[in-house]
Amino acid sequence: MSLALDLFTIVAVTLGAIFFLAGTVGLLRFPDTLTRLHALTKADNLGLGLVVLGLLPQATAPLGWIGLIAVWLLALLSGATVGQLLAEAVRPPEWDQTRTPDAPPDVHPNAPEASSHD
């Protein structure tokens, strides 16, 4: 039983370390601030969750479990909040007019140049 728990710890912590490596590679290699934010906030929080999950069998008391899960929940909450705030801060201002570069521009229903009488 202890061997199975140790094996579970090794697998989960290794997966978490791989996700941390993926987050670092994304931060270094992605071309844009928003894509870097996407790589960082998702991959690192998943890696931290896997590390916490792997450490749970090694923590002794239920107090240790509560501490580990509390750290992970706080990191999730702060990561989600900071991701939204940073994305709002680096958002290009021209995205306020058009949703995507490929989509047709938004036409106001009351605009005089509505293309119905052409």
Partner 1 sequence: MTAFLLGAAAFILGTVALGLVRILRGPGNADRMLAAQLLGTGGVAALLLLGVATGVGAVSEVGLLLALLAAFGSVAFVTGAGRASDASATDSGTQGAARSEPE
Contacts with partner 1 by CB under 8 A lie at: 6, 9-10, 13-14, 16-17, 20-21, 23-24, 27-28, 31-33, 36-37, 40-41, 44-45, 47-48, 51-52, 55, 58-59, 64, 67-68, 70-71, 74-75, 77-79, 81-82, 85-86, 88-90, 92-93
Cβ proximity to partner 1, 88 vs 113, nearer residue = 88
CA distances to 37, 81, 82, 92, 99 from 88, in Å: 11, 11, 10, 9, 15
Nearest CA among 80, 74, 73 for reference residue 37:
80
Cβ proximity to partner 1, 31 vs 105, nearer residue = 31
Residues 6+ apart with CB under 8 A from 71: 52
